[in-house]
Structure 1
């Protein structure tokens, strides 16, 4: 007899990666309830009751209803934020806070649910200083990194290490001419540093002379490693110039991956490494909500099946 408990997929309306996972789950007769938490309360409603027996209740979308006490797993991807444009600024701020701690709190407290990943764990893992510190503790090679708002500290760091890159600590979407854009990774020199650095926090990191990059996608107990060859500082700036090769993890990498995942209590992670000219892998970051499906289409690695196995709770 099939398991009637649904998988919740929490993401925005346009998410091709979620689409392929949902299709795979449908082919397995696994019930799915997809919604964007940002649609609350316009087309999404919830009633969650907490008793001595724990949390129970229902969540309603325009086409589905989920029993909150019997959710199999939640695939938490990239939902939009709460918005109340019909309210004035102060009332909207209040309503957004109540939605976040009300609906968000209920969704983060589902009994017996496997989270891929839990939204609170995603939030913890998205802090780059925490991720870099955890990576060093796990045994990864980590490039020397400075987080500062001091122009003098930035200049001294660049003088010490010579070849240094700047990275945003988090990448909110900018719109330039109506087109979504992001702040790119770039090499910086002492002459690039001025007093505007004092305006906020910045991340500077020694540049690793690299031969290639590796994206490692961890899905439950499965680990998929893909070497990415290009002549780019940041391969994400031009996918047309990339070539892909599945590879095996270097000795020690698997143990470090699991140490890192356990540190943040993640079951999914997209890790980026720079492959040094000597062949060693240098940790750059782990995205707990990173993209992965394009690598399956490029390499044939069974990543969608692995994620569906996890959500179905076969593994």
Structure 2
């Protein structure tokens, strides 16, 4: 009897969201191979041949060997950065890590016939906030007035015209203090008088603050939508106050559902985690879409995991 083809889960060891999906796949007796590219080459090895028949090869982890041409689906979650063996100097280490990124990374992104949730290159394209903003507006989502600039006078003018306004980082880059402790740049309201020459040092995103009564996290898996209302946040950025929050599943308005599906189609995504602000009139104001957002703490986590498992287990079904 031919062994069933596995699902490849590309992520780091500490990933609660992937754990929920893997548990559901295991419950269904679907074989799973977990791989973190950062373990290459220390505990991961790969050999691939490409000829007229396409890509054929094998990847070996510490616990198993997998034929890459037999992978049915790839769940691309949160792998660590590509790495180099210990003991190399800075230049050699950087060179080896880049070779791993474009070599192993290129192989994992080119598996023949595999269904990706999501393809890593699609994730990367969909992470750029300016592209998100344009796509959301074109798809009919309600986007707050937004300014992208490195000119302080333009920022002050925008804040005066559309205030109150908030500042949002364009990407969650790694940042640490002098002690090496990781720091997070949160969404914060800004005063025009606080905008100074620092604006000119890089690109900034300013946006009119939504007068919201609650937040909404909408998780999309193919054609299935799972919306949750988030109440209780004492500040603008609810991610800072998990212990204070309450969560209530709710229905997605038809116009928002259509726009969300159009948005996924624009970026060729199967999965997306959308954030909205809900105003007193019941209007959904779009903030962003994380193409690889987490969901394990939500009350509908089991339903989302089942929807993802369906995508990964049955790649030949109709899908986005």
Instruction: Please classify the TM superposition score into its range, dividing by the shorter chain length.
Output: over 0.9
Partner of 1:64 in structure 2?
Answer: 64
Q: CA deviation at 1:300?
A: 6.6
Q: CA deviation at 1:299?
A: 4.7
Q: CA deviation at 1:174?
A: 2.6
Partner of 2:250 in structure 1?
Answer: 247
Paired residue total:
313
Partner of 1:237 in structure 2?
Answer: 240
**1:215 aligned to which of 214, 217, 228:** 217
Partner of 1:194 in structure 2?
Answer: 196
CA–CA distance in 2 between the matches of 1:90 and 1:300? Answer: 43
Partner of 2:133 in structure 1?
Answer: 132
Moved over 6 A (4+): none
SS of 1:180's equivalent? Answer: coil
Structure 1 residues 174 and 251, CA gap change in structure 2 (3 angstroms): same
CA–CA distance in 1 between the matches of 2:279 and 2:3? Answer: 47
Q: What is the TM-score of this pair, normalised by structure 2?
A: 0.94
Q: CA deviation at 1:86?
A: 2.0
CA–CA distance in 2 between the matches of 1:222 and 1:2? Answer: 32
Structure 1 residues 300 and 195, CA gap change in structure 2 (3 angstroms): closer
1:171 aligns with 2:172: yes
Deviations 1:214-256 (A, max 9, x none): 1100112211011111232111111111111111111311111
**2:285 aligned to which of 282, 286, 295:** 282
Deviations 1:241-293 (A, max 9, x none): 11111111113111111110011111010000111222110110000110111
Contact 2:226 2:300 in 1 (8 A): no
CA–CA distance in 2 between the matches of 1:179 and 1:87? Answer: 25
CA–CA distance in 1 between the matches of 2:175 and 2:94? Answer: 22
Q: CA deviation at 1:181?
A: 2.5
CA–CA distance in 1 between the matches of 2:263 and 2:18? Answer: 25
Partner of 1:256 in structure 2?
Answer: 259
**2:206 aligned to which of 197, 204, 207:** 204
SS of 2:81's equivalent? Answer: coil
Q: CA deviation at 1:83?
A: 2.1
Structure 1 residues 58 and 300, CA gap change in structure 2 (3 angstroms): closer
CA–CA distance in 2 between the matches of 1:171 and 1:275? Answer: 24
SS of 2:79's equivalent? Answer: coil
Instruction: Give the CA RMSD over aligned residues.
Output: 1.5
Deviations 1:171-229 (A, max 9, x none): 12333445432101100011111111111111100101011111100112211011111
CA–CA distance in 2 between the matches of 1:222 and 1:292? Answer: 14
Deviations 1:25-83 (A, max 9, x none): 11111111101011111111111111111111111101111111111111111111122
Structure 1 residues 68 and 290, CA gap change in structure 2 (3 angstroms): same
Partner of 2:182 in structure 1?
Answer: 180
Partner of 1:273 in structure 2?
Answer: 276
Partner of 2:77 in structure 1?
Answer: 77
1:148 aligns with 2:149: yes
Contact 2:83 2:100 in 1 (8 A): no
Contact 1:72 1:113 in 2 (8 A): yes
